[in-house]
Amino acid sequence: MHAKVILVVLGLAALAAADSRETYSYSAPRASASSEESFESTEAKYNFNWAVSDDSSSNEFGHQEARDGDDTQGSYYVQLPDGRLQKVSFHVDGDDGYIADVTYSGEAQFPSSESAESREAPRRSYYAPDSNESK
């Protein structure tokens, strides 16, 4: 009997809690006269910079970029396998699109064909497993 009373009381408490919750409705955003102004104040604005330099592999590259609204400016660079450093400076300004200026510093270095031919591939030796170990 006590179990039935407890179940009824818990059921009524759950029903009362469900009725007391607020209900929310969602709808698509509505355009207003001030929506144009609020859009202007929430345009993208950022600035970042990163770089990697690994002396053991001669691997160098990086990127820097800053944006304020439609105006974006930046550059990135990479150490090419021939030894030159390639740098791309760019800017994006609204409807003008992406405008890049590519420059190279250093002089390309290529191995001579003699040195490539004279290098031998490392020799590797393979041996069959010892048949005495498996017995």
Count of the separate structural domains present in the chain:
1
Q: Examine residue 100 and state whether it is found in any structural domain, yes or no.
A: yes
pLDDT tens digits, residue range 98-107? 899 999 999 9
Instruction: Read off the pTM.
Output: 0.51
Q: Examine residue 90 and state whether it is found in any structural domain, yes or no.
A: yes
Q: How far apart are CA 64 and CA 98, in angstroms?
A: 15
| Residue found by looking up tokens 């001579």 in the block | 112
Domain boundaries, position 79? 43-107
pLDDT tens digits, residue range 35-86? 555 555 568 899 999 999 888 877 889 999 999 888 899 999 999 988 899 9
Q: Which residues on neighbouring strands pair with residue 85, listed in sequence order?
A: 79, 105
For the cut 90, the answer to whether the pLDDT of residue 121 exceeds it is: no
Q: Examine residue 61 and state whether it is found in any structural domain, yes or no.
A: yes
Q: How far apart are CA 18 and CA 31, in angstroms?
A: 34
DSSP letter, residue 66:
E
| Residue found by looking up tokens 């919750």 in the block | 21
